Amino acid sequence: MLQFWAYTMVFLLALHYCSSEQACFKDGSCDETTSSVYDRYLLYDVNPGEGFNLRRDVYMRVASAVARLSGRGHWTLVLPPWGPLYHWQVTRGQHSVGVPWSRFFDLDSLDKYVPVMEFDQYRKESGARVESALQLQDYAEGWRDGQFDEKWDRRPCLHKARFRRSGEDHEALMWGEVTLRVAYFSCVSIQGTSETLADMVGSMPHRSVLVDRAEAVLHRHYGSADFWAVRRSMRFARHLVEEAAALRRDLLRSDDVTDRTEYSDDWRQMKAVPGSARGGPYLAVHLRRRDFVSGRARTVPSLAAAARAISAALGRLRLDTVFLATDAPRSEVRQLKELLKPFTVVRPAPRKDLLAGEEAIVDQIVCSHARHFIGSYESTFSFRIQEEREILGFDAESTFNRLCGEAEGDACDQPTRWRIEYDA
């Protein structure tokens, strides 16, 4: 009997320890909360003004942090719902908030890098509640002596906090439609990479942590093998791949076998040889317009200048067809088609059955399979296409190109060539 009570006391003490751990920061302050070394969840969000393709890049940084958390509990990355986004104002009345990742990406493929979960599934299991939320921000004093030291500290909020106290909790409207409640909220100044984020989150015993303004976190090694591993895992949803394949087949005389652009079923087994992809018999051009016309006037060509550059490329490549990915209004597309005669310009009409984000992905897939690609200066849309072409095995000469503004003249530099790397 004495031995039984001894075991019971040990169990109760262990239970008390596991249920009263504290989340402690470098300033010595702590938050008591329930924790688990088993099932833990990392949620995140970004500045509401950031676009679709920048958000894809932030996912890579956060997923890399979750990969580094292996061994410190069983972490699952909860995917933030999409929308509303600035470029989705053209969705023609479609519902553009709370869009799940499965509308755009293959979740099984993402899951091969780190465990992922849609937010709706998280909400079904845990409710619209998180134990701790951290709003990331810069250091008020900036870099010390101009040095970039990786660090983080809980600090007073420099900007308006998204979460507001409501009774014993804090709450905020997230993703345009979800009132999320958290037990503990803090602003954290951070200067660092995905590794810094992993160290910060891993030091906390909370079972669920939300990191807001996650764009403040940088890549650990941009362009490294790990960078490319998480990027390769971001395969598009099957229905969008099929839409793009049908478009290529019907309008561009293009298919994966002829173009030498076949994917392996598992991204981990695919290592394309640079220069092995041939691409379809068409030129693909991403012509960024809208806010770039006024905000980056020096690097955005006029329609006439764009037509001259496209015509020259078609002649040099001995092609007669250009696939145009653009956010330009229909009037500008019509004008460009006139300027490009007698060449064929393929620009599909908007689809009522696809979200604007889905249409954009179809455009990116088609551009990534072209014989030659020309993008727009500092456009994340173009960056993602260049990455996709690296994964497929296109040579650099056919991938890292951009349109130039007239004012640039001879100072028009072509994009940096970030070549794919694999683990040894």
Residue that is written with structure tokens 């504290």 in the block: 22
* d(C-alpha 94, C-alpha 253), whole Å: 32
Whether 332 sits among the annotated catalytic residues: the reply is no
* CB of 393 closer than 8 Å to CB of 276: yes
* d(C-alpha 84, C-alpha 398), whole Å: 34
* CB of 278 closer than 8 Å to CB of 262: no
* CB of 365 closer than 8 Å to CB of 252: no
Peptide bond into 156 cis (omega under 30): no
Q: Under 8 Å CB-to-CB from 89, ≥6 apart: which residues?
A: none
* CB of 196 closer than 8 Å to CB of 115: no
Two tokens, residue 275? 């220069």
Q: Which of 132, 106, 111 is nearest to 43 (CA)?
A: 132
Give the three-state DSSP class for 239.
helix
* CB of 259 closer than 8 Å to CB of 280: yes
* d(C-alpha 282, C-alpha 318), whole Å: 9
Torsion of CA 171, 173, 175, 176, to 10 degrees: 170
- Write the DSSP assignment of 356-409 as a string of letters: HHHHHHHHHHHHHTEEEEEB-TT-HHHHHHHHHHHHHT--GGGTS-B---GGGG
* CB of 120 closer than 8 Å to CB of 128: no
How far, rounded to the nearest angstrom, does the alpha carbon of residue 265 sit from its chain's CA centroid?
Answer: 22
Q: Please report, as a single letter, which amino acid is at residue 340.
A: L
| Strand 280-287, strand 178-191: pairing | unpaired
Q: Please report, as a single letter, which amino acid is at residue 40.
A: R
Two tokens, residue 281? 């018999």
Two tokens, residue 85? 């986004």
Residue of 21, 32, 50, 195 marked active site? 50
* d(C-alpha 257, C-alpha 277), whole Å: 10
Active site residues: 50
